[in-house]
Structures are given as structure tokens and as C-alpha cells.
Amino acid sequence: MAKIVLKIKGMSCQHCVVSITKALKDLKGIKDVKVSLEKGSAEVNYDDKLVTKTQMSEAVADDGYAVIN
């Protein structure tokens, strides 16, 4: 089990939080997601054998937001 905090650009409301949470949870290997509008980030607990940071970033981008390195 691994943990990462993704900085996300483009969130402006609670709908954004719900949308990003769903996009990440839909990935195989994601155990838990906590998206914070105030911090502009998503804290993700995941199985690093099943999902990568790149896949998470792509899922967020496909939803219309950007992960900042």
C-alpha cells in the first residue's frame, strides 16, 4: 500500500471534488481518496502494483483538471 498527495489545478467547487474523487476511485488499485478543495489536492491510498501516478494524473486530466508536479 502506498500513499501520494496530488496537487490539482482547476478545482473551484464541491462538484469538482466529487468528480475527481469518482475519477480516481474508478481506477483499479485505488483504496481511498480524500480530495480537498481548500488545499487543492487529493490524498490517495493505492496499491502501487496495480496503478501508477501517471494513470492517476491521466484520470484527473480526462476529467478536465490538471495534476501539478
* DSSP class per residue in 10-68: ---SHHHHHHHHHHHHTSTTEEEEEEETTTTEEEEEE-TTT--HHHHHHHHHHTT-EEE
CATH fold, domain 2-68, is Alpha-Beta Plaits (3.30.70)
What pairs with residue 3 in β-bridges?
45
Q: Would you place residue 25 in the very low, low, confident or very high pLDDT band (cuts 50, 70, 90)?
A: very high
- pLDDT higher than threshold 90 for residue 14: yes
Q: Would you place residue 69 in the very low, low, confident or very high pLDDT band (cuts 50, 70, 90)?
A: confident
Mean pLDDT of 50-57: 97
Q: In what order do the strands lie in the sheet with 66-68?
A: 30-36, 41-46, 2-9, 66-68
Mean pLDDT of 1-29: 97
- Domain spans of the chain, in order of start: 2-68
- pLDDT higher than threshold 90 for residue 46: yes
- pLDDT higher than threshold 90 for residue 16: yes
